[in-house]
Amino acid sequence: QQPDAKAPLFERLGGLRGITVVVDDFVDRLAKNRTIRANRAVKDSLDRSGAPYLKFQVAQMVCEVTGGPCRYTGRTMKESHAHLGIVEKEWAAMAKDFKASLDRFKVPAAEQRELFDIVGTTKADIVTAR
């Protein structure tokens, strides 16, 4: 028997402790990423609204969608990204940073895949330009 294999993804990610550590690292990478910062609207928004707010909202969302006890209260993905004109190559850059953060904190491949499948469902609402 492998009881852990059936635990909610939230728990397999280390709960809020694990999730907040990964999200903290991820948002820092994203905010420094050259491909991401080359998008003027994204750069201005990151510089203005700041990482702490984003970290809080993203962690809250990841907690909820992985089966944790949180309730996401932020704006919808469409509302918060449509004005940014995010393109495919910026999504790819984000995905790379995301993986780097998950790797850094040794999240196993299966959990990474599961999490990225969930995150991927937001893509159509986030990548709205070309």
Of the candidate residues 8, 49, 78, 104, the single one contacting ligand HEM (CB under 6 A): 49
C-alpha to C-alpha distance for 79 and 33, rounded to whole angstroms: 23
| Residue 14 binds ligand HEM, judged by CB under 6 A | no
Structure tokens at 96: 């790379």
Question: Mapping DSSP to helix (H, G, I), strand (E, B) and coil, where does residue 18 land?
Answer: helix
Residue 83 is labelled as binding a ligand? no
Distance CA 13, CA 6 (A): 13
Q: Which residue is nearest to ligand HEM (CB)?
A: 74
Q: Which of residues 57-116 bind ligand HEM (CB under 6 A)?
A: 57-58, 61, 74-75, 80-81, 84, 86, 90-91, 94
Cβ of 82: how many Cβ atoms within 10 Å? Answer: 14
Q: Report the interface residues with ligand HEM, using CB under 6 A.
A: 36, 42, 45-46, 49, 54, 57-58, 61, 74-75, 80-81, 84, 86, 90-91, 94, 119, 122, 126
